[in-house]
């Protein structure tokens, strides 16, 4: 970024009104800058609204713990000020196999002296069933409880943030407005209008072709497609309580990689159900304010990403979910897929592509959890004189 006098207000242009773009808009506006956001769609409709709505602190590596917790606090602040629903619900990793149970013990032992330990607790079978009515009691050994997770409804949350930022911070939003050209100091839109800015942040998700395509050549970044579903409202106000995950999730997030028994768990799953590895399936459930349970998910990368949603993926997801949770009704209200940018060189792809212009994308499945904290960290770095 081009260094400017600390505290001097700048004209900041943000491209993309997904969660990453909104996070940058909020942080920049908090710092006194004049912010304008351009979004090519009529309203946010990409990966930021097609997820569980999990603020998933437990899934982050130790190196990102402070940023994740800061992001969680910012979510609570945003919900209070913008008026969208949020629930500090915590999470449970439910385990039904001995190797899964061992991994949880190893994880807790590994973190017994870290700040994280204050938020974690191993629960036995009875304690787990007392935490959630959704745990499948058949073969249940116990769970890992974490109190750091929150739930939002991603669609209503992400779509309500722009009005709040405009009302309280004066952020200007141009929806249905595609940015077709960006250079230092300027954003040009599809209408042929030129907009001058001192600083520009490009948060264009998995669109690697429209703006600065050369910035992605040779970079470990690619699209990732996931399948998800949502049930109808559960009857009689029934709720699952915490976010729920299972043994499959232990092999998905990097925070469990240091557990010695994880390799044994991974080998068992690869032998018993190779389709789960082939399709990147691990299963989770969350519940929104409408009582609907959000279910997923799968992961297909790069050239595997097709416009067609094959029914076998959804069947595998539901099969595995039924092993770990029980719902009053599994009737589905919606199915969909999302596509996000996954950067395997780190948690975010941040690249200065021209003086005063930075590409910021590739958060993968961590966008909802980390965007606020990462944006705050970025602006503190960018404006350090």
> Which tokens hold the place of 22?
């909104």
* pLDDT mean over 100-109: 97
Q: CA triplet 86, 90, 93: central angle to 5 degrees?
A: 135
Q: Topology of domain 11-50+155-219+345-382, per CATH?
A: FAD/NAD(P)-binding domain (3.50.50)
pLDDT of residue 29: 98
**At residue 2, does pLDDT exceed 90?**
no
Whole-angstrom distance, CA of residue 329 vs CA of residue 233: 9
pLDDT digits (tens, 9 = 90+) for 271-327: 999 999 999 999 999 999 999 999 999 999 999 999 999 999 999 999 999 999 999
Q: What is d(CA 109, CA 103) in angstroms, rounded to the nearest whole number?
A: 10
- Residue 173 pLDDT: 98
- The tens digit of pLDDT for each residue in 340-360 reads 999 999 999 999 999 999 999
Under 8 Å between Cβ of 132 and 141: no
Mean pLDDT of the 201-230 span: 97
Model pTM score: 0.95
Can you give the residue ranges of every domain in the chain? 11-50+155-219+345-382, 91-147+221-343
Phi and psi dihedrals of 88, rounded to 5?
-75, 90
pLDDT computed for residue 7 by the predictor: 67
Pair 291, 237: CB distance under 8 Å: yes
The whole-number pLDDT of residue 3 equals 36
Phi, psi of 79 (to 5 degrees): -60, -40
Place of tokens 């109808």: 232
CATH superfamily of 91-147+221-343: D-Amino Acid Oxidase, subunit A, domain 2 (3.30.9.10)
pLDDT tens digits, 30-79: 999 999 999 999 999 999 999 999 999 999 999 999 999 999 999 999 99
User: Do the two domains 11-50+155-219+345-382 and 91-147+221-343 of this chain adopt the same fold?
Assistant: no
Mean pLDDT of 99-103: 98
Instruction: Please write down the HEC assignment for all residues of the chain.
Output: CCCCCCCCCCEEEEECCCHHHHHHHHHHHHCCCEEEEECCCCCCCCHHHCCCCEECHHHCCHHHHHHHHHHHHHHHHHHHHHCCCEECCCEEEEECCHHHHHHHHHHHHHCCCCHHHHHEEEEEHHHHHHHCCCECCCCCCEEEEECCCEEECHHHHHHHHHHHHHHHHCCEEECCCCEEEEECCEEEECCCCEEECCEEEECCCCCCCCCCHHHHCCCCEEEEEEEEEEEEECHHHCCCCCEEECHHHHHCCHHHCCCCCHHHHHHHHHHHCHHHHHCCCCCEEEECCCCEEEEECCCEEHHHCCCCCCHHHHHHHHHHHHHHECCCCCCEEEEEEEEEEEECCCCCEEEEEECCEEEEECEHHHHHHHHHHHHHHHHHHHCCC
Taking 90 as the threshold, does the pLDDT of residue 385 lie above it? no
Residue 384: what pLDDT?
A: 86
Sequence-separated (6 or more) residues with CB below 8 Å from residue 127: 142, 143
How wide is the angle at C-alpha 290 spanned by C-alphas 95 and 126, nearest 5°? 25
**Average confidence score pLDDT of the chain:** 96
Mean pLDDT score, 334-343: 97
Is the bond preceding residue 297 a cis peptide, omega within 30 degrees?
yes
Q: β-strand 179-183 against 186-189: which pairing, if any? A: antiparallel
Is the confidence at residue 232, as pLDDT, over 70? yes
Please say whether the beta carbons of 283 and 136 come within 8 A.
no
Q: Record the tokens describing residue 120, joined without a space.
A: 């974690």
Cβ proximity of 292 and 234 under 8 Å = yes
**If you average pLDDT over residues 196-207, what whole number do you get?**
97
Residue whose pair of structure tokens reads 């745990």 in the numeric block: 135
pLDDT of residue 311: 96
């Amino acid at each position: 970024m081009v260094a400017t006098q600390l505290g001097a207000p700048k004209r900041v242009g943000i491209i993309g009104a997904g969660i990453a773009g909104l996070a940058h808009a909020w942080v920049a506006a908090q710092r006194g800058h004049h912010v304008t956001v351009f979004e090519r769609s009529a309203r946010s409709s990409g990966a930021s609204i097609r997820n569980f709505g999990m603020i998933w602190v437990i899934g982050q590596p130790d190196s990102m713990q402070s940023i994740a917790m800061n992001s969680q606090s910012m979510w609570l602040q945003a919900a209070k000020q913008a008026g969208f629903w949020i629930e500090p619900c915590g999470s449970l990793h439910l385990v039904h196999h001995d190797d899964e149970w061992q991994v949880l013990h190893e994880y807790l032992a590994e973190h017994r002296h870290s700040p994280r330990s204050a938020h974690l607790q191993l629960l036995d079978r009875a304690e787990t069933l007392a935490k959630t009515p959704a745990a499948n009691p058949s073969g249940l050994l116990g769970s890992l409880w974490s109190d750091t997770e929150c739930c939002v409804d991603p669609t209503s949350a992400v779509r309500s943030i722009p009005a709040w930022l405009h009302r309280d911070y004066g952020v200007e939003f141009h929806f249905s407005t595609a940015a077709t050209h960006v250079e230092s100091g300027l954003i040009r839109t599809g209408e042929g209008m030129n907009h001058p800015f001192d600083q520009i942040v490009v948060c264009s998700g998995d669109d690697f072709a429209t703006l600065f395509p050369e910035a992605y050549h040779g970079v470990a970044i690619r699209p990732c497609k996931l399948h998800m579903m949502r049930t109808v409202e559960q009857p009689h106000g029934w709720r699952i309580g915490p976010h729920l995950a299972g043994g499959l999730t232990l092999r998905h997030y990097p925070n469990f990689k240091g557990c010695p028994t994880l390799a044994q768990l991974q080998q068992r799953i690869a032998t018993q159900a190779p389709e789960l590895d082939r399709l990147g399936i691990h299963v989770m459930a969350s519940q929104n304010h409408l009582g609907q349970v959000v279910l997923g998910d799968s992961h297909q990368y790069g050239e595997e990403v097709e416009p067609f949603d094959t029914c076998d993926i959804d069947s595998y997801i539901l099969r595995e979910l039924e092993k770990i949770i029980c719902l009053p009704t599994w009737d589905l209200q919606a199915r969909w897929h999302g596509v996000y940018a996954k950067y395997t060189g780190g948690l975010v792809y941040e690249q200065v592509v021209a003086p005063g212009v930075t590409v910021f994308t590739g958060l993968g499945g961590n966008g909802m959890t980390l965007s606020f904290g990462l944006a705050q960290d970025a602006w503190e770095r960018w404006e350090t004189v």
